[in-house]
Amino acid sequence: MTSPTNRQILLAETPKDKLGPQHFRLTQGPVPAPRDGEALLRVRYISLDAANRAWMQGATYREAVGAGSVMAGGAIAEVVESKAPGFAPGDLVFADTGWQDYIALPVKRLLKVPKIEPMTHLLSVYGIAGLTAYFGLLRIADPKPGETVVVSAAAGSVGSIVGQIAKIKGCRVVGVAGGQQKCDWLVKELGFDAAVDYKAGPLFKALKEAAPKGIDVYFDNVGGDILEACLFQMNLNGRVSCCGAISAYDGAAPPAGPRGVPGLIVVKRLTLKGFIVTDFFAERDKALADLQSWVAAGKLRIEEDVIDGLENTPRALIGLLAGENRGKRMVKVA
């Protein structure tokens, strides 16, 4: 019987403009052996996120991904061999494994997760996407019943959950997405009150029609022109939860907006606050209990976009940045 090999996808070169297949390279080598205090993991599902692209541009809340290194990314993985107490073969963990079949990591860097079916839910509603939506909306923006909540990238992994949680909390919800098909899905399938296609025409006017009483909470996944358009329609004491800036990730230069904002923030007493989901991990159990109860009650719909094969991970990320996906995109490795 032949020994397994470890396929790895490297960032071959740092992109200066749009990300393309030429920026990645597939290699293979031996499966690593765990040292004391480590566990050998077999990667099962890799999470794809817009932040993957931001990591190529420089250090953020984590170190930058440099040319020639294994492409970084979180994943659900299975313990194959353990040389540390508390972890045994068959255990499932979430870890920053990178894009590869196997990795040996110190167990202090592993987050043990429960065995549930389907396993994909550990990356979507019960993973970083669901927790980001939960904490970013409820802890950062604190929406009240009857308020108007607008969320950008609303058909994506985080935005689609944000909108549904806002509805659960009694808010009027407006999604911003690219394309009429996605907008129809948000309203007809996920229960959003309205959806705006940012590709269809003047965004400011469309938002005004969708949110005639102004915006109380804006969940920002994109930055740029959409952030600018929303800021100028915020109500007094409005809150902006700053989650991401997709519009600035994949290109040579960041967008111009938002412009003319400082005076607006003062006059309207706005609060803009950024966050990283790990800021709230001490409250993870409570969040997961709420998410599980909403799913069980049929109040929260889960949408997943699973691509098969490690070799297809670069194409899957490029497609995500182009807005191909609906819901949480991930790659099945094993």
pLDDT of residue 256: 59
Domain C-terminal end among 244, 260, 278: 278
Strands 92-96 and 111-113 come out as antiparallel
pLDDT of residue 247: 57
**Per-residue pLDDT reduced to its tens digit, 171-187:** 999 999 999 999 999 99
206-209: list long-range contacts, CB under 8 Å, 24+ apart: 207/150, 207/174, 207/176, 207/233, 208/233
pTM of the model: 0.92
Give me the number of domains the chain comprises: 2
pLDDT of residue 248: 57
**Residue 286 is assigned to a structural domain of this protein:** no
SS percent in the chain: helix, strand, coil, step 5: 30, 30, 40
pLDDT of residue 262: 74
Sheet holding 194-197, edge to edge: 194-197, 172-177, 148-152, 215-220, 234-242, 271-274
Same domain, 173 and 211: yes
Domain that holds residue 222: 128-278
pLDDT of residue 257: 59
The contacts of residue 281 (CB under 8 Å, 6+ apart) are none
Same domain, 192 and 119: no
Same domain, 54 and 170: no
**Per-residue pLDDT reduced to its tens digit, 210-268:** 999 999 999 999 998 999 999 999 999 999 999 987 655 666 555 555 776 778 899 99
Same domain, 213 and 318: no
The contacts of residue 69 (CB under 8 Å, 6+ apart) are 10, 11
Same domain, 191 and 138: yes
Residues of the chain with pLDDT under 70: 1-3, 246-257, 260
Look-up: residue for tokens 């255990």? 91
